[in-house]
Structure 1
Amino acid sequence: MADSRRRPRSPFLRALEFDDSLPIQPEAVRLWLNDIESPTRWSLRPLLQFLLAMLLHLIWFVKRLPLPQFRAHGLLQRLICWFCTHFVSPSANQLILRHFATESNILNFLIDNCPEVSVEPLTLYPSRIEDMLDASFVKHDQELFRAIEEMGLWRQRPAPLAPQAISWAHWRPLAESDFELPRRRTQVLDFESAHALFMCLFCLLLTREEYRDAINGFNLDQSIAIRVGQLIGDPTLAEMAYNKYPHYLVGPWNLSQRFLMHGFFTEYLYARLERLRLASVASKPRP
């Protein structure tokens, strides 16, 4: 619910609280609406995105030159975690932590239901900002690529899996209590403003190949949705993916929106699968 100290939400935002036509958990909606109402999103964010998008393209250009490459993964993660701890709002921080878990769950769902190959499941489920020092954003990207590679060429399913045949062996349902996010008075920055600040750091402190792969990894959303849709018999899942056509590599243009829509995609697909899991649990006969 809206904070009683704030102005009442607009009719559109109130409608969003109840629109679950696209599958999404109420907790994710609450966090996102809190973030939308952050003053920094409507005042600071447009300026940050305008200025830092120009800086990002400059760094991107320099990194593409035939110069020696360098990386500083540890420094990158320490800076992000410090900034999140002190300046990013709890709602935005929880959305970041949820993203690790939603994507890990989706990939683990694919791994669990591809018995033809043996793939190590993902373990990236940070519950605190400090956990991201290990479960890093770089590792998050690399684990996605590893899982897709190790699953090998996708085998077209002649029919979807029966509900009782679906494996949830490494699925971890999310609850608000899973996350530990103490609040500081300085934590006021919204999700999109924080990303605008982070994106230049990523480009600078990764090699050009690592950064190129990271910003193009979003386009695997469509591939993942197609695979999950075949397993559960729902071809409409591909429509949830804003980022598509992974064979067409892109640069950092429109990165903020593509990043945000990747986050929505994982929330949508996680919620769709969690509904399916809960329905299968409810349908099992009790002993």
Structure 2
Amino acid sequence: MSDPAFDLANYDPRDPDPWLALYLDQGLPIAPEAKIALLKGNRSWSRRWLFPIMRPAVFAFFILVKIARGISPHHPNLNGTLHRLIHWGLRTFCTPEANTLILRHFHVGTELLAFIKANAGPVEIDTVPLRPRTLKDLEDNVFLQHDLNVFNFIIQLNASLRVQGRDLVPVDKPDFSMISDKPFELAPLPRGRLNFADAQTAIEVYTPLYALLLPRADFVRAAQSLQLDETVAIYIGKILGTDYHMSFVKNGHPLVPLSTLQAGYRLMMHGLDCEAFHGWLRLLKHRQAQGLPLDPRNPTGASA
């Protein structure tokens, strides 16, 4: 997939475009449609100007919310209002690229957990697949359910393994059937005059609102879930018998939790980690279909 915004014909060695360099870079195996959406957001005026201007005000508001939540950790609990507000804001102010990244994230997360479950042997895990096609679909408790899915998955997976006295082990021929080969089928996204905000700006604004409208326990759990990338990566590594993809993880292990004030930035990193994991599994799926070794670093090894 190519995009006119990153046309190599416009390359000037005397003034190289940093975003073109990242567009051409193949270090992370991210789906082209996700990479283009992320880069367009990074080079947008909202990310370059609006984001740094409004960030101090958002930070100050976040401090007030944390103080309020320290006084009243359980109320208000306006989960439905929060999801409707998120839907309205994304529909009204966010670019199609930002909304693409947000909708994709739930599909990617669903497939990553499904991959681990399918290759873990007999385990009892009950989570809710999340496949939003439209922004309206997000109103169905999708953000909160996403956090519940991750923690319930880890608890139920490890409880099942502990009862059986075993752990995840390398699989000779992993099941990649749940990993999508093509772009996710998303409905057309709004392109109105007000749809200007990039994903990181939107996330930074919504993070304190998330903390304000949900009980403190729900927000803290959501923030802690952002550091579970390394945990998920370890599970994938045990199944694949390789640690190559561990180099994609940048969020840090949850045994040393970071401040919730960093949640906005870490949410962007969480999205990047998950896209990289998913892209890596997609690449391995293609290698398996071609009869090649799963690990590209072992080109002479036995085929998978």
TM-score normalised to the size of structure 1? 0.89
Distance 2:4 2:62 in 1: 35
User: Match for residue 227 of structure 2?
Assistant: 219
1:91-114: CA deviation from partner (whole Å, max 9, x where unpaired): 000000111111111111111111
User: Match for residue 161 of structure 1?
Assistant: 171
In structure 2, the gaps of 5 or more residues are 293-304
Bigger Cα displacement from structure 2, 262-271 vs 129-138: 129-138
Shift of 1:173: 3.9
Determine which of 231, 236, 249 is the counterpart of 1:228.
236
- Displaced runs of 4 or more, over 4 A: none
User: Match for residue 143 of structure 1?
Assistant: 149
Shift of 1:119: 1.6
Task: Report how many residues are paired.
Answer: 278
Determine which of 198, 201, 206 is the counterpart of 1:193.
201
TM-score normalised to the size of structure 2? 0.85
Distance 2:34 2:167 in 1: 32
Distance 2:220 2:158 in 1: 22
User: Match for residue 2 of structure 1?
Assistant: 4
CA 1:228–1:244: 2 relative to 1, 3 Å: same
User: Match for residue 82 of structure 1?
Assistant: 88
Shift of 1:67: 5.7
Q: Report whether the alignment pairs 1:54 with 2:60.
A: yes
User: Match for residue 136 of structure 2?
Assistant: 130
User: Match for residue 28 of structure 1?
Assistant: 34
Distance 1:12 1:249 in 2: 32
1:120-142: CA deviation from partner (whole Å, max 9, x where unpaired): 35410111101111152111111
Bigger Cα displacement from structure 2, 261-270 vs 143-152: 143-152
Q: Report whether the alignment pairs 1:97 with 2:103.
A: yes
CA 1:151–1:67: 2 relative to 1, 3 Å: closer
User: Match for residue 238 of structure 1?
Assistant: 246
Distance 2:132 2:141 in 1: 7
Distance 1:179 1:278 in 2: 27
CA 1:177–1:15: 2 relative to 1, 3 Å: same
Bigger Cα displacement from structure 2, 169-178 vs 192-201: 169-178
Which amino acid counterpart does residue 101 of structure 1 have in structure 2? H
Distance 1:67 1:187 in 2: 34
Determine which of 34, 54, 70 is the counterpart of 2:76.
70
Report percent identity of matched pairs.
26
User: Match for residue 13 of structure 1?
Assistant: 19
Distance 1:100 1:177 in 2: 12
Shift of 1:18: 1.4
CA 1:103–1:112: 2 relative to 1, 3 Å: same
